[in-house]
Amino acid sequence: MSKHSEILFIAKSPVGASEVFFDLFNAANSGYDLHVASVKPIVSGAVAVTGALGLDLFLTFTTAVGTAGTAATRTGTSLTASTFGSTSPVPSVLPLSISARRLPTGGATAGAVISHVEVFIEETNAGTYLDKDFISPKMEDVVIPQGYGIQVQQGAVASVGNIGFMVVFALVAK
C-alpha cells in the first residue's frame, strides 16, 4: 500500500448564508481512497468585520462532483488561487481524477454531515485565530472512497468577512 501526503489550499472567499466554500472529489476511477487528516478553516484578518456574527460551518460527504466555481490547480504558485500541493518539494502524484473547486455552484450533492465547527471572524479578537479543525485528533481519518467527496458549507445565518481552508490528506492505493 503506497501513501502520499497532499495538501489542498482553498483561497479565501467572502462568507455568505448557505455558501458552499469548496468541494474535494475522488472520482470512481482514481485508484485511491483519500484519507483526510485535517480540514482547517483559515479566517482572514485582512478585512474589518467589527461586530460580525460567527459562522456555523459544516463538513459533509458529497455524492457528486461539484460543478462551476473555480478548479484548484496543481502545484500553483498564486497566493490567491486554490491549489493542490505536496508536503514534499517532489512533484505530486495526484491523479487528475481527484479534483477540487472553490465556490461550486452546482453538483457537490450534500451527503451525511461529518462535523461542525463554529468560527468567530471578528479580526480584533484573539479567539478568531484559534486553531480549529473539523477532524478531532481523537478521530480516525475521514476516508473518501472512490465516487465520493467532501464539502464545507456555511449555515443559513449570514455574516461578513473572508475565510479559506487547508485540507491535509493522503492517497491510499486500492
- How much of the chain exceeds pLDDT 90, in percent? 62
Mean pLDDT estimate for the chain: 89
Give the tens place of pLDDT for each residue, 136-148: 888 899 999 999 9
Predicted confidence at residue 112, as pLDDT, reads 96
Task: Tell me the whole-structure pTM to 2 decimals.
Answer: 0.91
Quote the pLDDT of residue 156.
Answer: 92
Confidence of residue 1 (pLDDT cuts 50, 70, 90): very low
With H, G, I as helix, E, B as strand and everything else as coil, classify residue 18. Answer: coil
Average pLDDT over residues 8-13: 96
Nearest in space to 30 (alpha carbons), one of 151, 159, 158, 148: 148
Grid cell digits, residue 31: 485508484
Distance (Å, whole) CA 40 – CA 83: 15
What's residue 122's pLDDT? 73
